[in-house]
Amino acid sequence: MQKLVIEGGHQLNGEVRISGAKNAALPIMCASILTEDELHLSNLPDMHDVTTMIKLLQQMGVAVESGEQEARFNGAALDKQEAPYDMVKTMRAAILVLGPLLTRFGVARVSLPGGCAIGSRPVDLHIKGLIAMGAEIHIEHGYIHATAKRLKGARICFDLISVTGTENLMMAAVLADGTTVLENAAREPEVVDLANCLTAMGANIEGAGSDKITIVGVDKLHGASYSVMPDRIESGTFLVAAAATGGCITLTHARADILDSVLDKLREAGATVEVSGDRIRLEMTGRPRAVNLRTAPYPAFPTDMQAQFMALNAIAEGSSIVVETIFENRFMHVQELQRLGAQIDIEGNTAVIQGCATLDGATVM
């Protein structure tokens, strides 16, 4: 059984190079399906999901040459427009091949994703959007079967903000006939990064980063070289770890402009934060102050940073309230923090934390 053995009571100090963002890398890798030319990606994170996505693309017929933090993708020989269950069940982002396959080849067969431990992530928004663009879709034996002679531009308004839904339909729209408008679109930086890569490949996209994205379809995309954005969640996690232990840390190859809500909360907690170019320096010289937070879609406080701040609040001075609005099961870490002595009460989607001076070591999972 894999495990981490951690000895507490030490400040975390030093310098860390931030990796490429997984949530940007995965959809950008899927963009390689959209062209028969080579797509060269750099700053890819060394993560299991990236390796799995490479295997899925190779299984479809995409030629992949991998190096250190980079890879070259060539979809000229792609001949299998299918994402099987054994791939999708381990990586929900595999649903992102649906739009690219359908818009380039006119056919796609993609397994429905399995359950998610932290909450529901329905794919019906993807399906409704593709149907609005003229696709014929039916679900059979756990697979989405989609066909279309050529997708047509459409105006699509999302019932709920969906990052992967926005990304899938944006990729589908780049080769569609006419103009597609995505209303109530996700504004996350990872969506913008995908749009920037697609633009480098010849796509016509405006409004990425706002809640209205307009895509004018083109006949074909070409190859490109693109560097994946830094991971804002990895950045925030290191900063919170240093703040919780009273340390001093410098992040390199980071982006402060996509971390505003996190940096504001760290300053509120008592940390000194300085930004210079792609470097972020944090120093905490005392016990953190408790901070209230409420998760919401970007540019508000990210749900992926909620657990880290919960740990910070557990040893902070004072009491705090954390409200989770994105996923219904995202307090699974609370029971483990309580095993360490954290004083946390849960009521629905709200956690009330009373900070302790110290926590005790314990076995957790």
- The reported pLDDT for the residue numbered 1 is 67
Q: What is 22-227's CATH topology?
A: UDP-n-acetylglucosamine1-carboxyvinyl-transferase; Chain (3.65.10)
Rounded (5°) CA angle 172-176-177: 165
Tell me the C-alpha distance between 163 and 204, whole Å.
19
- The reported pLDDT for the residue numbered 120 is 52
Instruction: Give the list of residues 6+ apart from residue 322 with CB closer than 8 angstroms, or none.
Output: 292, 293, 294, 306, 309, 310, 313, 350, 351, 353
Tell me the C-alpha distance between 116 and 309, whole Å.
22
Cβ atoms of 206 and 214 closer than 8 Å? yes
| Domain edges within the chain | 22-227, 230-354
Residue positions annotated with a catalytic role: 116
Which of the 8 DSSP states describes residue 238? H
Q: Model's pTM, two decimal places?
A: 0.96
- The reported pLDDT for the residue numbered 92 is 85
Tracing tokens 């963009």 back to the chain, one arrives at: 31
Tokens of 231: 């991971």
Tell me the C-alpha distance between 302 and 327, whole Å.
11
Cβ atoms of 201 and 39 closer than 8 Å? yes
Instruction: Give the list of residues 6+ apart from residue 17 with CB closer than 8 angstroms, or none.
Output: 251, 252, 253
What tens-digit pLDDT sequence spans the chain (365 residues)? Answer: 689 999 999 999 999 999 999 999 999 999 999 999 999 999 999 999 999 999 999 999 999 999 999 999 999 999 999 999 988 888 889 999 999 999 999 999 999 886 444 345 578 999 999 999 999 999 998 899 999 999 999 999 999 999 999 999 999 999 999 999 999 999 999 999 999 999 999 999 999 999 999 999 999 999 999 999 999 999 999 999 999 999 999 999 999 999 999 999 999 999 999 999 999 999 999 999 999 999 999 999 999 999 999 999 999 999 999 999 998 888 999 999 999 999 999 999 999 999 999 999 999 98
Cβ atoms of 143 and 110 closer than 8 Å? yes
Q: Could you give phi then psi for residue 32, rounded to 5 degrees?
A: -65, -20
H runs (alpha helix) in 174-330: 189-200, 232-244, 260-268, 306-314
- Do the domains 230-354 and 22-227 match in fold? yes
Instruction: Give the list of residues 6+ apart from residue 181 with CB closer than 8 angstroms, or none.
Output: 153, 154, 155, 156, 212, 213, 214, 215
CATH 3.40.50.300 fits 230-354, yes or no: no
Burial of 209 (0-12, 13-18, 19+ CB in 10 A): middle
Tell me the C-alpha distance between 315 and 319, whole Å.
10
